[in-house]
Chains A and B, each alone.
Chain A
Amino acid sequence: MTLQAFRKQSASSRLFRSFTGIEQRIAIATLAIGLLFVGVDAARAHEFKIGAIEIEHPWSRATPPGAKVGGGYLVIANDGDSDDTLVAATLESAGRTEIHQMSVDNGVMKMRPVEGGIAVPAHGKAELAPNGFHLMFMDLKQPLKQGEKVKGTLTFAKAGTVDVVFEIDAIGAMPKHEHHGDGDMPGMKMEN
């Protein structure tokens, strides 16, 4: 044990001993157990990983009967030192999948295929969401139903291809995580 670690440990045990009352110790133990569960919850979050690339919560929306298209949304985090690019994707129930960008310009909804894929900068993120970059699932063989999980893949120029599962949400659903500018809270993403 290094001197530093020893200091840390003795400091924390001193701290714990300073809580003399049984209530105080129970409270601290409860808090510690609570934190343990937070950790378990985060580990169970809907995430996928390949190399330095981490995929958070791939999801889609339920489609009306007979609909031929759907959108795919997710957040990509790149923990690596080099840039990567999302170049392709598939969904089991779609004939093919393209990468598109949507924008609303002066009340006009515009959509265009994205040339060359979506860049994920080193130590950065890329987000695919209903009102921006998204996967466009085309030629759907059957409607996407709320509550279903549908298999698919994502292919990155450097990291390669990773199997993922898209969770199907309600027709008009919006991304679950909102940006509050205070970083990411993986445990929050499973809220429904």
Chain B
Amino acid sequence: MTRRRIAAIAIAAVVALAGSAVVGYQLSDRGASTALRTGIGGPIDLPATTGKRFSTADLGGKPYAVFFGFTRCPNICPTTLSDLTLDMEQLGPLADRLQVLFVTVDPERDTPDSMKDYLSAFDPRIVGLSGTPEEIAAVAKAYRVYYEKVPTEGGDYTMNHTATVYLMDGKGELTGTLSLEEEQPTRVAKLKRLAESG
């Protein structure tokens, strides 16, 4: 093998590596706006804090962020709602291009009315959803959300529940998640990408 040939092969190898790196980068960069095909998600049609039923079918291709919780939650739920409120403020008008949904896992105590009162502390565009225990169970199942009652001393109960915020594209497919550990710039960037995908 001549030296010139070795050099040509080396150059070809470098070009190929660089090419795949670019493709890889583009794929990972597209991650947040590409459906993850996890099977998580499904249509939602529940009584809402708007006073009517709310259906994802009525979103007309608008992406949405949805998470599950309950109003007797001392930390995660109010913190998530407060984070989302600050994120939406950062997004400005772009936040109108996505819908934020808060579904209760405690429908026996959280009615659309009580949730409306509760949500008045947060961004007014956030919609709260309740329903019959069966309706909530069906939606939670579709989103693979785990929840259970935990008895407390006073004969009362609190709830354990999945705290992830699901980011759903205009077709209702999961494209990513938000988690509590993330810093605000990360969350805002993800929501921005979601809003712009719609």
Interface residues of A (CB under 8 A from B): 61-71, 96, 98, 100, 102, 104, 107-113, 130-131, 134, 136-138, 170-172
Contact A107–B160 (Cβ < 8 Å) = no
Kindly identify which residue among B78, B154, B159 contacts A61, using a CB–CB cutoff of 8 Å: B78
Contact A65–B179 (Cβ < 8 Å) = no
Contact B163–A63 (Cβ < 8 Å) = no
Q: A108-B162, A113-B153 are in contact. Are A64 and B74 (CB under 8 A)?
A: no
Contact A69–B164 (Cβ < 8 Å) = no
Contact B156–A63 (Cβ < 8 Å) = no
Q: Would you call B117 an interface residue if the criterion is a C-beta within 8 Å of the partner chain's C-beta atoms?
A: yes
Q: How far is the CA of A131 from the CA of B164 in the complex (A)?
A: 15
Contact A66–B163 (Cβ < 8 Å) = no
Beyond known contacts A62-B121, A64-B81, A137-B74: 13 more, CB 8 A cutoff: A64-B118, A65-B120, A66-B117, A66-B118, A67-B78, A98-B154, A104-B76, A107-B179, A108-B163, A109-B160, A130-B75, A171-B78, A172-B83
B127-169 interface code vs A (CB 8 A; 1 in, 0 out): 0000000000000000000100010111010111111100000
- For window 60-88 of B, CB contacts with A under 8 Å fall at 71-76, 78-79, 81-83, 86
What residues of chain B lie closer than 8 Å to A137, measured between beta carbons? Answer: 74
Q: Would you call B191 an interface residue if the criterion is a C-beta within 8 Å of the partner chain's C-beta atoms?
A: no
Question: Shortest beta-carbon distance, B34 to chain A, in Å?
Answer: 21
Q: How far is the CA of A33 from the CA of B10 in the complex (A)?
A: 70
Look across to chain A and name the residue whose beta carbon is closest to the beta carbon of B83: A172
What residues of chain A lie closer than 8 Å to B72, measured between beta carbons? Answer: 67-69
Interface residues of B (CB under 8 A from A): 71-76, 78-79, 81-83, 86, 114, 117-122, 146, 150, 152-154, 156, 158-164, 179-180
Contact A171–B82 (Cβ < 8 Å) = yes
Question: Shortest beta-carbon distance, A113 to chain B, in Å?
Answer: 6
What residues of chain B lie closer than 8 Å to A66, measured between beta carbons? Answer: 71, 114, 117-118
What residues of chain A lie closer than 8 Å to B161, measured between beta carbons? Answer: 108-109
Question: Shortest beta-carbon distance, B154 to chain A, in Å?
Answer: 6
Q: How far is the CA of A172 from the CA of B161 in the complex (A)?
A: 19
21 interchain pairs, CB-CB under 8 A = A64-B78, A64-B119, A66-B117, A69-B73, A69-B74, A98-B153, A100-B74, A102-B74, A104-B163, A107-B163, A108-B160, A108-B161, A108-B163, A111-B158, A112-B150, A136-B74, A136-B152, A138-B152, A138-B156, A171-B81, A172-B83
Q: How far is the CA of A134 from the CA of B79 in the complex (A)?
A: 15
Q: How far is the CA of A108 from the CA of B146 in the complex (A)?
A: 7
Contact B160–A64 (Cβ < 8 Å) = no
Look across to chain A and name the residue whose beta carbon is closest to the beta carbon of B179: A107
Question: Shortest beta-carbon distance, A66 to chain B, in Å?
Answer: 4
What residues of chain B lie closer than 8 Å to A113, measured between beta carbons? Answer: 152-153
Q: How far is the CA of A100 from the CA of B81 in the complex (A)?
A: 22
Most buried by A among B120, B153, B158: B158
